[in-house]
Chain A
Amino acid sequence: MKISISKIIIFSFTIFLLLVFWQGLKKDNNYDTENLIGSRISSFQLIEINNNDQYISEEDLKKNKFTLINFFASWCAPCRTEHKYLLNLSNKNKKIKIIGINFKDKKKNAINFLNELGNPYNFVGKDINGKISILFGIYGIPESILVDSDLTVIKKIVGPIDKVQYNEILELVQ
C-alpha cells in the first residue's frame, strides 16, 4: 500500500495542532502573581500615615520573624470583610507583625476606617499615588503578602483574606 508523503504531512500537522490546542486548554489562563512566591521583596520606604517624619523600610522587616503586608483602603468593600481576620491574626499570633499600606486613599477616611473596625496593624503607611504597590506586584486591592525575616515572599493573597487563607497563614507561621 502506497501512502503519499503529503498525506503523512497533513496527518502529522493535524496531530500537532490537536496537541497544541489540548495543551492550551489544559493551561490555567487566570492571571495571578504566584511567581513572586520565593522571591525577595524590593527595597522600599513607607511613610507613616500620620507622621511624615516616621517611616519604615525593608530593613525593619528583617527584625520580624514574619510580616504580613496588607494593602487596604477605606473605599474598598472587600477590605472590610477581611478585616476581622487581620484583627484575629494581630491578637492571637505574636510571631507575625502586620504592616498596613493605605492605598490611594484620603487620610481622614483611612483613620475613620481603622477607628470603626479596629487597627490590626503594627505600622500603617501611606501609598497615595500607588507607586509602592507596584514594587510589591500588586494589581488590585485588597492584597496581602507574607514575608519571612529574609524578606522572602512565602505567601501572596490576591483578594480578601478568608477563613481558609487565615488558617493557611497560621500554619505557615507556626
Chain B
Amino acid sequence: MKISFFLLVVYALITTKTYSSESQNRLLEVYKNLRCLVCQGQSIADSNSDFAATIKLVVEDQFKEGKTEDEIYKFLMNKYGEWIVYQPTFNKNNFLLWVLPYAVLIFGGFIIFLVVRKTKRNKVN
C-alpha cells in the first residue's frame, strides 16, 4: 500500500514537471515570436523591460485560459499592429516578400536550363 502510494506520488511529480516544461516551451516559442516594442532588436523572450514583463504575464494568462497561439497573436496584433509579431501575415503589402524568392528560384532554374541546353547544343555542333 505504502509502495503504491509512493509510486503514485512519484508519477504525479514527474507528469506535473513534464507538463510544466512543455507549457514553458510553448510560452517561450510565443515570446520569441513577439517583438519588444520599446527595445532595440529584442524579442519579448530576450527582453527584461517592463513592457516585455507585462506582455509575458498577459500571454501566460491567455494560455491558461486555453487560447491558442494564433488567438494570442491575433489579440496582440489587434492592440499593437502587425509590428509586434516577427512573422508577418501574408497580405497585399508584403506579398512580394513571400512570392519573390520562389519566383527568383524558378526563374534562375529556367535560366540554368537554357544555358545548359545551349552549351550541349554547341558541343554537338
A-B interaction:
yes
A interface with B by C-beta (< 8 Å): 31, 33, 35-36, 39, 42, 104, 129-131, 133-137, 139-140
The answer to whether A130 and B57 have CB atoms under 8 Å apart is yes
The answer to whether B38 and A139 have CB atoms under 8 Å apart is yes
CB distance from B85 to the nearest CB of A (A): 13
CB distance from B49 to the nearest CB of A (A): 10
Interface size range on B against A: 10 to 19
Q: Interface centre among B51, B54, B78, B83, by most A CB within 10 Å?
A: B54
The answer to whether A140 and B54 have CB atoms under 8 Å apart is no
Instruction: Label chain B's interface by main secondary structure.
Output: helix
B interface with A by C-beta (< 8 Å): 37-38, 50-51, 53-55, 57-58, 61, 76, 78-81, 83
Known contacts A129-B57, A130-B57; is-contact A137 B51 (Cβ 8 Å): no
- On chain A, the residues within 8 Å of B78 by CB distance are 39
In the bound complex, CA of A42 to CA of B74 (Å): 14
The answer to whether A140 and B38 have CB atoms under 8 Å apart is yes
In the bound complex, CA of A135 to CA of B54 (Å): 11
